[in-house]
Structures are given as C-alpha cells and as structure tokens.
Chain A
Amino acid sequence: MTGRAPRWIIVLVGVIAFVWIVPIIGVVVTSFRPPSEVVLGWWRLDNLTFTLSAWTRIWDAYPLADAFWTTLQLATLATLATMILTPAAAYAFHFLKFRGRRLLLILIINAFVLPQQVVIIPLFQLWRELGLIDSFLAVLIPYVGLSFAWSIFLVKNFLEDFPKELIEASRIDGCTPISTFRHVVLPNILAPIFALGILQFLWTWNALLLPLLYLRSDVPLPVLFARIAGTYDLNWDLRSVAAIITTIVPLLVFLVFQRQFAAGAQSRTGAKE
C-alpha cells in the first residue's frame, strides 16, 4: 500500500513520535545549557547558550567513570557467558535424546514468567553465607542463570527450522554429536546467538535491582544513577549528563539492533533483570 497512504497518517504518527521523545529531548537539552537558563524550563529559548560545562564537571562530581567500567565488565561477562552456554544447551535439547529431556526443557522455557523478586531473598541469604556479597559473581550468576529461560527458547525456536538433512548427512559421514554441533550446527546459528547477545547485553547493562542489593563498593551505572536521581539538589545539568552517560550505550546498541530486539524480546517478554 506504500505510496497510497494518506499524508495525514504519516503526519499524525510523526507528531505522536515527537511528543513521545520530548522527555528524552528535555534531558539532552538540559545537559547542554547552563542551569540559570533552564529554571523557567529547558524549552525556553529567550536566551540560548550552548555549554559543555556540565559534561566536564561531571567526572569530578560523581564516580561515573568507575561505574561505567563496572557496568561494561558485568554486561560483557554476562553476555559472553550466555552466548557461550546457550547454543550447546539448545542443541542438546533439540537434537540429542536423553532421559528427562522434555521435562527439563519445559521447566527451563517456562521460567521466563518468574519475577526477579523471587530470587532476591534466597540469594541474598546464600551470598551472605558464602561471603559473595559485593562480588561480581553475586550478580553474574543470576544474570546468566535467569537468561537461559528465554535464550534457550530463542535458539531452540531457530533450530525448529534447521534442515534435518544436514544433521542426517553428518551422522552418516560419521560425525559424533560434538563434531556435528561444532561443524554443522554452530556455524549456522550465529544469527540467533548474536541476537541473544544483544538482548542480554542491554538487560544486564540496565539492571538495577540485583546490583542494588548484592553490590556495595563497585556499583554499575543504574545503581549509581538511581542514587543521583532522587536527591533534592538543583544541579539538573549534572544529573542530566549522568542520565545520558548511564543510558547512552544501551540506547545506541538498541537503536542499531532494534530489529533483532523486537524479535527476541518476545521470547524474553521484555523482562529486565
């Protein structure tokens, strides 16, 4: 129907979209203007000065650089672990026969409905006993463990369309299950592995609840920012810069890969760690 669409539809959707991102524009504009100018509203244009002052002062005001590094490490480690462990498990569930296979599969793929609130009390006690509070493992283990509920589902769904002939052929050629996985299956499922990597990266980057409870000294950006956001200081310019730094990486990753995100988010149902 392209080309015949009435103009008013495109205009209407455009207006809705711009209204939608007004809160984002507000934060970006505030971060580049001196606080004195925006006391009557960031949208006032009576005098308009562009300044990077807040962007240079921010690094002394809040330990954002440390938090950025912590977040990057946590998100990268959790993403790699999920990307490495999921394909083998999905392959085992899909192509191998073993006792209890279907029961385990049902358990794992249905766990996506569980709220993260379920894990916090038992793991809090367990980490305290093991002395793991404040260790990266305290959040990495639940990040990765919880991810299997949707990541295995995502890869296994992809395997539903995997040509069975390829597997049969490799069997006849004398491939063992492991070499079939390595040489036949793995090279052909890089797309879903990549997609789940993006999803896991975004969600672990944005995670707030688990690091809020289990990490004390090195906290990731959302935890640090949650502390900054709720204060009664009037430094809106600094806080807006901190907001942008907190979310710029996931937002860019999201904008670049939003197609994979839309497809994958369904299996994960958009849950956030």
Chain B
Amino acid sequence: MGGAVTTRSTSQGVLGRDERRQPLVARRWHLRDTPVAWLFLLPVLILFGIAVVFPLFDTIRLSFYDIKGLAPPKYVGLGNYTRLFSDPAFLHTLGTTLTFTIGVTVIAVSVGWVVAMLCAFAPRQTLPFRVMIFSAFGISEAVTGYMWITMLRPGADGLVNALIRSLGFPDFAQPWLGDPNTAIWALIVAAGWAATGLPLMLCFAAVQAIPKSVLEAAYMDGAKPVSIMLHIMAPLSLPGVRVAVFITLLNALRAFDIIYVLTGGGPVRSTETVGYFMYRESMTQFKLGYGAAATVILLVAVLIVSIPAVIQRTAGAR
C-alpha cells in the first residue's frame, strides 16, 4: 500500500525512451520479432476481438435497427434514439443515473478520504480498521444487496428503522425500499457502503506519499490534527483523490448487480439507471435495438467521464 500504487500508472518508462539509439545486434533481433510478437498476441487478440471489439461495434450498429424477438431486424436510422428521448421512462432514468452516480461518489470518496487522512496519523494501529471498511469491496454485490434488504426491512427486525424508532422518531421509520421516493436513497447508501473501500485505499496511499518531513514540520509548529488534515493532507493528496473520484464515478455509472438484487429497478422503475434500463429493455422486453441505443447513451456518458484517463493512458502507452 505504498505510494507507488498511485504513481505507477503515471510513471514514464525508462525503457522506451532511447529506442532509436539501439545497437545493431538489437535491431537485427527486432527484424525477427514480428512473427513472435503476433504468435504471443494471437490468443489475446482473438478473445479481445470477440469480447470487446465486436460487441462495441455491433451494439452501435444494432442501435439503428428495430429488433423484436426473432423477427428480422428493420433499419430505422435514428428512430431508436428519437424514441428514447421521448420515452418518459428513459428520461427519468437519466435523472436517476445522475443522482445515483453522484450520490455514491460523494459518500464513497468523502468517507474514504476523511478516514484515509485519519488513518495516516496512526497507519499501523488503524490497519485492521481500514481492512474492515475495505472488506465490503470483496463481497459479491448480490450479497451486498441482500445485506441491505435485511438492514432496511420495514418491520421490527430492520436495524435502520429500529434505530430511528429508538432515537425517538417513530414517524420517520418507513419501508425504505418500498417507496419510490426513498428507494433511490437506500440504493445509494448501499452502493456507497460497498464502494467506500477503494477510495479509502487510494486516498490512503496518496496521503502516505506525502513527504514525512512536511508533516513533521507541521507537528513541530504545534499544528492540531484537524488543521494538518485540512491544510496539508487534503491539498497534497488531491492527485490520488482525483483518481478515486474517477474510479468511483465510472463504477457507479456502470452499476448493475446491486440494483438488480436490491431494488430490481423498482418500485415503479424509480431506481432504474441507464445501465439497468438497457438490460430491462433488451433482455426482459426483448427490444434489442432499443436496448442497444440506450447502451450507446451509457457508452457516451462513460467516455465523457473517462476522457482525462484515456488521454493519460494513451500518452503513457509506449
């Protein structure tokens, strides 16, 4: 969990820099590289082609067709897209996606960041606590969904409502997952709970990478922990936090499993994100072309969020 975790992806390779000044032996060797390279890459390229390249282009192609069940596809141009943007269910989905993605990211990154900074004061003593919070990330999302179904049960055996009642607000206790107005927030809490571990670890690595001398100096000057966090750790860990924000945004945008198990998109489609909507339309309603068009919208959203990361990886690819 050292600082190398965050810096590695940005470090420029030493090996690629002086490729042009290679000795004659090496260059002759390279002439014979090509067949070997393709031999090494062949299985990867075939599998990558089937699992990534083909579906990517085929999804875009299918989004221009009207496909219902096994009937022959009919070309409809941008028809699916105009229908999407006049479909109230889809428009609602866009809002839900935005709320869900931002809500999960705010919970996961803010809790993860604050805990990471607190942990940096006593890295060894707090290691078990970090692992405890991170452990939610290793749990199957299907199980995470179930855990929160049990936490949010409306009866006496639901811990959340029991706590609210025992604190003296019996009127606030309610079937969180049964009400369209609260189900989305319940979903955000559950997904945020599961997502917090990763930002915690990334932010912790970023805080750990701050030179010890800076922190020692602040200590010598008598700075209190809270002001060290606010004025030194927070600003100096920002690069790591940015990575954490991006990763959490990306994962929330692509979410499916937890929605499927916890709410199934309901009640009355109130918790459907675009990623869930495409599944529902294509795999339960068998409107494959319509679902593909929704997937393309999701893809566009994902690409917009990912532009900085893609630029960085492309520049670093040598």
Bound complex: CA A200 to CA B50 (Å): 19
Interface size class of A (residues with CB under 8 A): 35 or more
Shortest A159–chain B CB gap in Å is 8
**A63 CB-CB contact with B under 8 Å:** no
Complex partner residue of B283 from A14, A159, A213, A255, CB under 8 angstroms:
A213
Contact B52 A255 (CB under 8 A): no
Q: A41-B156, A160-B14, A226-B261 are in contact. Are A250 and B55 (CB under 8 A)?
A: no
**B303 CB-CB contact with A under 8 Å:** yes
Complex partner residue of A251 from B115, B138, B201, B250, CB under 8 angstroms:
B138
Contact A113 B303 (CB under 8 A): yes
- Chain B 125-157: CB-based contact to A (< 8 A → 1; otherwise 0): 110111111111111111101111111000111
Complex partner residue of A121 from B196, B225, B260, B295, CB under 8 angstroms:
B295
**B172 CB-CB contact with A under 8 Å:** no
**A80 CB-CB contact with B under 8 Å:** no
Shortest B264–chain A CB gap in Å is 7
Chain A residues contacting B155 (CB-CB under 8 Å) are 39
Contact B121 A119 (CB under 8 A): no
Chain A residues contacting B275 (CB-CB under 8 Å) are 115, 117
Q: A5-B122, A12-B118, A148-B47 are in contact. Are A255 and B135 (CB under 8 A)?
A: yes
Contact A89 B44 (CB under 8 A): yes
Q: A141-B47, A262-B205 are in contact. Are A110 and B310 (CB under 8 A)?
A: yes
Interface size class of B (residues with CB under 8 A): 35 or more
**A206 CB-CB contact with B under 8 Å:** yes
**B174 CB-CB contact with A under 8 Å:** no
Give residues of chain A (94-119) contacting chain B, Cβ–Cβ below 8 Å.
Answer: 94, 96-99, 101-102, 104-111, 113-119
Interface of B is mostly: helix
Contact B317 A102 (CB under 8 A): yes
Q: A98-B37, A118-B59, A141-B47 are in contact. Are A253 and B147 (CB under 8 A)?
A: no
Contact B257 A89 (CB under 8 A): no
Most chain A beta-carbon neighbours within 10 Å: one of B134, B140, B253: B140
Contact B147 A98 (CB under 8 A): no
Contact B122 A10 (CB under 8 A): yes
Contact B37 A92 (CB under 8 A): yes
**B81 CB-CB contact with A under 8 Å:** no
Chain B residues contacting A120 (CB-CB under 8 Å) are 55, 279, 282-283
Shortest A4–chain B CB gap in Å is 7
Q: A2-B124, A24-B135, A121-B59 are in contact. Are A144 and B47 (CB under 8 A)?
A: yes
Contact A270 B142 (CB under 8 A): no
Q: A208-B141, A251-B135 are in contact. Are A38 and B157 (CB under 8 A)?
A: yes
Shortest B32–chain A CB gap in Å is 7
Pick the interface stretch among B22-30, B98-106, B178-186.
B22-30
Shortest A19–chain B CB gap in Å is 10
Chain A residues contacting B124 (CB-CB under 8 Å) are 2
Contact A146 B51 (CB under 8 A): yes
Contact A254 B29 (CB under 8 A): no
Shortest A178–chain B CB gap in Å is 6
Chain A residues contacting B251 (CB-CB under 8 Å) are 269-272
Bound complex: CA A261 to CA B131 (Å): 11
Contact A109 B317 (CB under 8 A): yes
Complex partner residue of B302 from A99, A113, A119, CB under 8 angstroms:
A113
Contact B30 A96 (CB under 8 A): yes
**B176 CB-CB contact with A under 8 Å:** no
Contact A85 B43 (CB under 8 A): yes
Shortest B49–chain A CB gap in Å is 8
Shortest A134–chain B CB gap in Å is 15
Contact B32 A177 (CB under 8 A): yes
Q: A160-B13, A177-B33 are in contact. Are A114 and B299 (CB under 8 A)?
A: yes
Bound complex: CA A14 to CA B133 (Å): 10
Bound complex: CA A121 to CA B278 (Å): 9
**A74 CB-CB contact with B under 8 Å:** no
Offer 26 A-B interface pairs, CB within 8 angstroms, sorted by A.
A1-B216, A10-B125, A13-B126, A20-B196, A23-B147, A40-B157, A41-B156, A97-B34, A98-B38, A115-B254, A119-B52, A121-B282, A124-B283, A144-B47, A153-B313, A177-B33, A206-B140, A208-B260, A254-B135, A258-B131, A263-B4, A265-B198, A266-B6, A269-B246, A271-B254, A272-B141
Interface contacts beyond A96-B36, A110-B310: sample of 7 additional A-B pairs, CB < 8 Å, sorted by A: A17-B133, A22-B159, A117-B295, A121-B291, A141-B51, A205-B140, A262-B134
